[in-house]
Amino acid sequence: MKALLTGGAGFIGSHLAELLLANDDEVYVLDDLSTGSIENVSHLLDRPGFHLVVDSVLHPAVVCELVHKADVVYHLAAAVGVKTIVEQPVRTLHVNLKGTETVVDACSKFEKPVLIASTSEVYGDHRTETPLREDARRIYGSTTQKRWAYADSKAMDEFLGLAYYEEHALQTVIVRLFNTVGPRQTGMYGMVVPRFVDRALRDEVIEIYGDGLQTRCFCHVSDTIRALRDLMADIDRTTGQIYNVGAPNQISVIGLAERIKLMTGSSSPTVHVPFAEVYGSGIDDMLHRVPCVDKVRDAIGWLPMHTLEEILHDVIEHATAPVTAGVTAEIAA
């Protein structure tokens, strides 16, 4: 099987590439390295069957050539992180909307099944801790709040994928990811677990945005990529559907900081910082996002296998591992 991974040099994409290569699939990665990293895939560059193309999903000719070569497409490329949303709102909308349109249109042209990675952010700002089902209503704020631009752009990606499925019979499956974490994730774009771990290991101040009572759930990247692979492998049954992929291991942000401090033996103090001070105006934070995973379990038998303790252990272990020399290799262009 030949698989194209857009955004495949990113955190999730690089782990998925590893999994597919281990299954003896041939993997093509398309990534402009704007938020992805060559370090994420450096250990794969010399692997037989791995191909890295440094270019953008915004270039139709490149996308069409790679889609034509592939048997299946995993569309993971997107603008990611609250920091990116705030600092580059135009890029966020352009990459998420135009990039998905380019990929899905090519998949339709060549009749190649596509998995579209969406996000739990599309649910909006739910105030209760009720697990969110795929058919739950979306609750959004004002268009002056920049965070909703990201959520809306990913929702439009979903609408586009479903439209191609209904109008052009394109085999499409949509996955809403809930806070995937694990080794190689960076805190550079605002991801809370690697950011807290990095500060804790340095005994530096851990900044908690807001009151810290907002809750989140975290899914190990190895569990996430297993779901992506299996949903695509059963595309004849999963096509035209949306699936939550996450772990219902709810914890408050302040509780997360304390758990990480305990596991690292850190003496880091914690301080509360208003969202407006970090990101300026235009950012609302969601209070709760808990996934209901009944649908994906019933479809492919998937359930998360890693506990929160195991997830945090793996992130900490990766962060404290010795740095090895980078690998160089020729990159396709």
Q: What is the DSSP string of 60-76?
A: HHHHHHHHHH-SEEEE-
Domain regions of the chain by residue span: 2-181+218-247+290-305
The token pair at 156 is 């439009």
pLDDT reading at 328 higher than 50:
no
Please report where in the chains the tokens 């569990």 appear, as a residue: 223
| Active-site annotation holds for 150 | yes
Could you say which of 28, 74, 150, 209 is catalytic?
150
pLDDT reading at 329 higher than 90:
no
Residue pair 193/242 in contact (Cβ under 8 Å)? The answer is: no
H, E, C per residue of 18-33: HHHHHCCCEEEEEECC
> Strand 215-216 and strand 206-209: pairing?
unpaired
Q: How confident is the model at residue 333 (pLDDT cuts 50, 70, 90)?
A: very low
Spatial CA neighbour of 192 closest among 278, 93, 117, 130: 278
Using a 10 angstrom Cβ sphere, with 0-12 exposed, 13-18 middle and 19 or more buried, the burial of residue 65 is middle
Please tell me whether residue 177 adopts helix, strand or coil conformation: strand
Spatial CA neighbour of 74 closest among 132, 161, 165: 161
* CA distances, 261 to each of 105, 208, 255 (Å): 47, 13, 10
* DSSP character at residue 97: I
For 127-172, the pLDDT digits (tens) are 888 999 999 999 887 887 777 888 899 999 999 999 999 999 999 9
Cut 0.95: pTM above it: no
Share of the chain above pLDDT 90, in %: 77
DSSP string, 138-171: PB---TTSTHHHHHHHHHHHHHHHHHHHHHH---
Give the whole-angstrom CA distance, residue 162 versus residue 239.
9
- What pLDDT was estimated at residue 223? 98
Q: What is the mean pLDDT of the chain?
A: 92
- What pLDDT was estimated at residue 280? 66
Say which CATH class 2-181+218-247+290-305 falls into: alpha beta
For 159-214, the pLDDT digits (tens) are 999 999 999 999 999 999 999 999 999 877 678 999 999 999 999 999 999 899 99
The token pair at 171 is 């085999």
Which whole number is the average pLDDT over 31-37?
A: 93
Report which secondary-structure segment, H or E, holds 106.
helix 99-110
